[in-house]
Amino acid sequence: MIKLFRNIRKNLLKEGKTANYLKYAIGEIVLVVIGILLALQINNWNENRKLQKEELKLLHDIKANLKATLEDFEMDTLVSYQQIQKYQKIEHYMQKGLPYSNELDSAFGVLTFWNNPYITTTAYKTLQNKGLDLIKNESLKNEIINMYEVEFQVLLTDYDRSEWNLSENVVVPFFSKHIRRLDGKSLNLARPNDFEELKRNDEFQNILSMLVRQRKRGLLFFRETIQIATKLIEQLDKEINSRTK
């Protein structure tokens, strides 16, 4: 093709057709410019297509991460509810003046336990590395950022940190003095050194009430976060479906 254009130019110059040559030269320049623009357009189209595929994959991954996190949260709420029941069983025995029963071993065993919220963040970290602007839907992008930077952080810094403080500063010190682990049977079982004395211990009753309150508070945190995450999953589904039709 280039050789053909070169021959045409030579023939026009030999024949002295300067005006025609100039027209031809201008036309050739126009064709070259159009070719360059088309190449750039195709390159931009390919790049945009690549970014869209990347964005769609990340949306799928974020959705999967959120679902995995919600499964953990559902288990956390179940465990918290079971712990509340165990603590209230101890309170029942104390309030009714009942003698110690081995069924309380599991209740005393979980006095120092709680479920740390575990959040799967691999997809969000990938999004941060690639750039948050990869998500073109501005509203959806803001909801994703809010989920990971605000809602999950409130759960971690407010609820979980307060659990650590209560456990380390109040529960564990008291536990180590008055309650013994039955590690020969199970790491999850424990028994008070003197249950009758513990019944009269105001500090222990206060600790029990604090633990019950803390777990109930945790249930509220988890349930609220689950609701917000569930709505975000619905938004992700809607965006993914609109992009794959």
Task: Dump the DSSP string for 64-113.
Answer: HHHHHHHHHHHHHHHHHHHHHHHHHHHHHHHHTTPPP-GGGHHHHHTTT-
Structural domain count, the chain: 1
Residue 145 domain boundaries: 2-244
The mean of the pLDDT values for the chain is 86
pLDDT digits 0-9 by tens, 145-169: 999 999 999 999 899 999 999 999 9
Arithmetic mean of pLDDT, 31-59: 71
The pLDDT of residue 194 is above 80: yes
- Tell me the pLDDT band of 229, cut-offs 50, 70 and 90: very high
Distances from the Cα of 243 to the Cα of 51, 56, 231, 237, angstroms? 13, 8, 19, 10
Q: Is 183 exposed, middle or buried (0-12, 13-18, 19+ CB in 10 A)?
A: exposed
Tens of pLDDT, residues 48-98: 667 688 999 999 999 999 999 999 999 999 999 999 999 999 999 999 999
Global pTM reads 0.78
Quick one: average pLDDT of 205-230?
95
